[in-house]
Amino acid sequence: MTRSFASMILLFLLTASALSQGDAGLEVRLPDEGAVMTPQTVRFANSFAKTNASFARFLGENPGWEFRYNELTNNPHRAWGAGIPIEGFPAITLMNAPQAGRQFVRENAALLNADPANLRMLYSEIVDGKAYQKFIQTHNGIDVLNSYVDLRISRDGRVFMFGSDAKPGLSVDTAPSLGVDAARAFAKAGFAVPPADDRITGGTLFILPLKFATRIDARLVYNFVVNAGPEDVWNTFVDAHSGAVLWRKNLVQHFHRGDEHEPRPAGNTVNGRLMMSVYKDSWLVGASMEPVPNAYVNVGGKEYITDADGRFTADIGAELTAPVVARLAGQYSLVRRGDSTAVAKNGRIATSAIAGQELSVVWDSTNSTAAERCIYFHMTTIRNYLRGIDPSNKLADIDRQITGVANINASCNANWDGTRMNFFAKSATCGNTGEIADVIYHEYGHAVNQFLYTKLKGSSMSNGTLGEATSDIPANMLRDDPRIGIGFMLSGSPDGLIRNSDNTRRYPENLVNEIHDDGMILSGAVWDMRKAIGLEVSRKLTHYVKYGTPDGTTTGEVFADYFIEILVADDDDGNLANGTPHSADIIPAFVKHGIPASGLTLSFNPLGDQTSVTNPYPR
C-alpha cells in the first residue's frame, strides 16, 4: 500500500478562564469548559522529556512517538506511534485483551502517571481487529469523573495509541457531610418551581475534579437527575459537603438554538404488503410511495412482521377471511401523536384479508399524518443503516422499539429526551420537524451516542458541541448530503437550512460558544474527509470513532481527540507514525478546519522511494 508519512508536530497552549454561571439559567458549567487552545508555542515531546524521566526513557526506547500532554497533571493526554509489543501477547482476542491492557498499564504506570491499583477497566472491545480499552480512576473506591486511561492495541498485540487523564495526588474528604436526602434538596437550587422529590433520581457519589488554569480542585459530589418537565431533565452534581451545585447539564438534546412472530405456512394464507406515502428527504421535496419494513401487522389475532420490502405472509387457518389491523409500530419504532390525548387519533388501519388474495395496505393521509409516517420510516431506516455498519451487541439498545412523538404543540425544534424522540408541529416560521429526514436522523444520532457511550463507559457523552456534531454526521453520511434542516425554516435560504456541513468554519476563529454552530467546525472537517476518501469508508470511520469514546469539557481538546480516533479507526498496521490507509486525505480535511489547531498540528509529505533496506527513513 502506498502511504503518506504523517509527521506529527505538537502545538499546545491552554488559555483557560473560569466561566461564572451568571445569567445562564439553570446550567452550571465546569471551569474549563470555556478554555481555548491556541497553537502559539511549538512543544515537542523531546522538550517535555527533559523534565520527565519516564518520558525520556520511553522516547529513548521508542523513537518517533508523538505526545500531546497535559502540563497541569504531567500526563500524556494522547500519545501515538509505532506499536509497542506487549510481552506474552502476540495476538489480541476478546478474551485476552483485558489482561494485555492491564499488563501494559502496570508496566508503564510512571509514564501514564497513574496508579494501576486505582484504575478500574470500563470496557475492552474488539473493533475491526483492534482493541479499544478505557479505564477510570478511582479514589477510596469512588469513581473520579473525567479521569481516564485509554489504550488502542493492534491485532498483533502492540499498543499504538495511549492516553492518560488520571489526576495524581488527589486530596478529597470522601466521607460526605450531607446525607443523600439533604443533597437532593440542594439539587433543586435555581428552579422557579422546585421539582418534587420523586422527580429527582440517583444519589451516587463521585469525585469531580475542577480544572482551573493553574490547579485542580477535587470535590466529592452526589449525582442526581432532576426531571423538571419534558424539556428540562438536568444531570446535576451537588457538592457532598457544601451542597453547592457544581455542574449541571440538560440531558434533553435539541435539534435547534421473535420467533413467535414468524409466519407459519399452514392452511389458508394471505400475502400482503405495506406501503407508505413518505417524504424521503423533506416536505419540500414531495412524497413518494415506499415499502414499510420491520412493521407489525395483526392478521386474525396473530402478529406478523414485514420484511425489508414491506411484505408478509399470514396463516389464517381454515378461515376464508380475517381482520387486519396495522399501526405505526414495529420492531424498532413506535409513533404516537403529541397533538391529541385520544389514542384513536394515532395512525391506524383496519381492513380485512381474503385467503389467496394479495392484500395491499397503504399508509397515507386518510389514516395518518405525514409526520407520523415519516418518523416511523426514518427511525427504522437509520436503525437498519447503523446495524449494517455495526452488528455488535454494544448497539443492542437500538434493537428494540423506540418511541417517536409527532406533531407536538410547539414549534421550531425537536429533541431526544433520553427515552424518546419528540418532533414539533408546523408554525408560521418553521416546518414540521417530523417531516424532515435529517432532523429525525439527527435525533436518532443523540440516542445512539447515549446508548453506545453508556454501554461502553457507564455514562453518556457530556460535551454538547461534540454531541451536536456527531448527531449531524450520521445524517450527512446516511443521506450523503451535507445539509441539515431541509425545510426547517419557512423563510431565508431556498432549502430552509439551519446548518450545512459543507463549510469553511475553523477552530478557534469561528467559535461562537453555541454548541450547534460550533459543532459545524467538526462536521465540516468530516464532510471534507468524506469528499476526499469516499462515502463507504467515511460511514465506517464516523461510526467506529465512537468506540474511542472521545469526550471532555474543552471543545478544542475534544475535536483533537476525535481526529486522533478517526486515524485509529483507519489504521491497519498498529502504527500511526507511518500514516494510515487514508491519512493523506484525512489530515488536510481536519487541518483545513483548524483541527487539531486546538492542540495538535500535523505536517505531512509523501515519502520518496527508499534507497536502503537497512537504514531508516530520514526525518
Buried b / exposed e over 421-458, threshold 16 CB at 10 Å, is bbbbbbeeebbbbbbbbbbbbbbbbbbbbbbbbebbbe
Answer yes or no: are the C-beta atoms of 361 and 324 closer than 8 Å: yes
At residue 63, the pLDDT reads: 84
- Identify whether the C-beta of residue 270 lies closer than 8 Å to the C-beta of residue 313: yes
pLDDT in the model for residue 603:
40
**What is the pTM (predicted TM-score) of this model?**
0.85
Which residues in the chain are classed under CATH 2.60.40.10? Answer: 254-443
Contact 222, 204 (CB under 8 A): yes
Q: Which residues of the chain have pLDDT under 50?
A: 1-24, 39-44, 258-266, 597-619
Tell me what pLDDT residue 599 has: 38
Of the candidate CATH numbers 1.10.8.60, 2.60.40.10, 2.40.240.20, 3.90.1300.10, the domain formed by 254-443 belongs to: 2.60.40.10
Q: Which of 591, 584, 581 is nearest to 560 (CA)?
A: 591
Q: What are phi and psi of 181, to 5 degrees?
A: -70, -40
d(C-alpha 284, C-alpha 493), whole Å: 12
User: SS3 for 440-478, per residue?
Assistant: HHHHHHHHHHHHHHHHHHCCCCCCHHHHHHHHHHHHHHH
CA distance 527 to 524: 5
Closest CA to 436 of 392, 357, 493, 498: 498
Q: Residue 143: name the closest of 459, 480, 547 by CA.
A: 459
Burial level of 219, CB count in 10 A (0-12/13-18/19+)? Answer: buried
Q: Which CATH architecture has domain 460-612?
A: Orthogonal Bundle (1.10)
- At position 520, the amino acid (one-letter code) is M
Judge contact between 242 and 173, C-beta under 8 A. Answer: no
Residue 28 is given by DSSP the state B
Rounded Cα gap, residues 424 and 411, in angstroms: 5
Backbone angles phi, psi at 538, to 5 degrees: -65, -40
Distance CA 288, CA 225 (A): 42
Give the Cβ contact number of residue 98 at 10 Å. Answer: 14
All CATH 1.10.390.10 domain ranges of the chain, comma separated, are 460-612
588: nearest Cα among 4, 22, 57, 157: 4
Rg (CA), the chain: 26
- pLDDT at position 332 is 97
Q: Rounded CA gap, 45 and 50, in Å?
A: 9
pLDDT value, residue 520: 98
Hey, what's the cell of 425? Answer: 408541529
Q: What local confidence, expressed as pLDDT, does residue 83 receive?
A: 95
Contact 39, 11 (CB under 8 A): yes
